[in-house]
């Protein structure tokens, strides 16, 4: 965090980011967005963040804004930006893009980040999660998984990226609450149920968005 940014100012700026983010289409709500902002403010200098599944940038706005508040770090957003996804999600993505005027989803995200003066804090990668060379990013401080919601897609993204988290790094898994899901739309929830304890994650807080810490034994 910038040394001249006091806690009250930080809270006010964070609330501004959350309000702006909630004006964008998406499914991450205020409390989880605030948590993302606070966690990002607490990261080490020059932190490296990866978000799998950007959509219109609701979470990216808060993550990048918090990086800007602290004065260092980079967010990598990885998304095909083509409204593709699991069978349940794709019609909703397509409908929401049409409601925003159509065109390129990546262009919508770029324009939003530019509007908020945050484009220099974000690198957009037009690709699916496993199409990107994760080794090129270095060790991650925060990983947000919210891309392909199918079981196969969510497991593939987790397996590709989670080992890159540093010890103590933060894993964030969207759409992972304990609830009934549409067919093959529960991939994120299954990652939380089957992988996190097995793979040494600690401090697991499960909700609509699940937060967990990478354990020392798997992530040196």
Whether residue 220 has pLDDT greater than 50: no
Domain that includes residue 66, residue range = 7-213
Does residue 218 belong to any structural domain of this protein?
no
Does residue 66 belong to any structural domain of this protein?
yes
Model pLDDT for residues 198-211, shown as the tens digit of each residue: 999 999 999 999 99
- Predicted structure pTM score: 0.95
Whether residue 52 has pLDDT greater than 50: yes
Does residue 219 belong to any structural domain of this protein?
no
Whether residue 142 has pLDDT greater than 50: yes
**Average pLDDT, integer, range 50-71:** 97
Here the tokens at position 50 are 């990866």
Number of domains in the chain: 1
Whether residue 58 has pLDDT greater than 90: yes
Does residue 14 belong to any structural domain of this protein?
yes
Whether residue 44 has pLDDT greater than 60: yes
**Average pLDDT, integer, range 175-197:** 97
Does residue 2 belong to any structural domain of this protein?
no
**Average pLDDT, integer, range 141-156:** 97
Residue for token pair 């964008």: 24
List the CATH number of the domain containing 59: 3.40.50.150
Model pLDDT for residues 93-105, shown as the tens digit of each residue: 999 999 999 999 9
pLDDT at 1: 47
Does residue 89 belong to any structural domain of this protein?
yes
């Amino acid at each position: 965090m910038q040394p001249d940014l006091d806690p009250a100012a930080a809270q006010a700026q964070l609330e501004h980011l959350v309000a702006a983010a909630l004006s964008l289409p998406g499914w991450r709500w205020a409390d989880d967005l605030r948590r993302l902002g606070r966690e990002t403010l607490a990261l080490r200098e020059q932190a490296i963040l990866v978000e799998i599944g950007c959509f219109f940038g609701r979470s990216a706005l808060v993550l990048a804004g918090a990086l800007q508040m602290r004065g260092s770090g980079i967010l990598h957003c990885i998304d095909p930006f083509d409204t593709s996804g699991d069978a349940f999600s794709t019609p909703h993505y397509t409908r929401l893009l049409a409601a925003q005027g159509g065109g390129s989803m990546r262009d919508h995200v770029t324009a939003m980040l530019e509007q908020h003066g945050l484009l220099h804090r974000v690198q957009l990668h037009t690709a699916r999660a496993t199409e990107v060379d994760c080794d090129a990013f270095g060790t991650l401080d925060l990983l947000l998984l919210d891309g392909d919601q199918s079981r196969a897609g969510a497991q593939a993204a987790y397996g590709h990226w989670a080992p890159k988290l540093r010890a103590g790094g933060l894993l964030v898994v969207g759409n992972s609450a304990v609830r009934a899901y549409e067919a093959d739309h529960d991939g994120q929830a299954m990652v939380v149920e089957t992988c996190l304890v097995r793979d040494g994650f600690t401090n697991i807080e499960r909700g609509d968005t699940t937060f967990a810490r990478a354990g020392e034994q798997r992530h040196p």
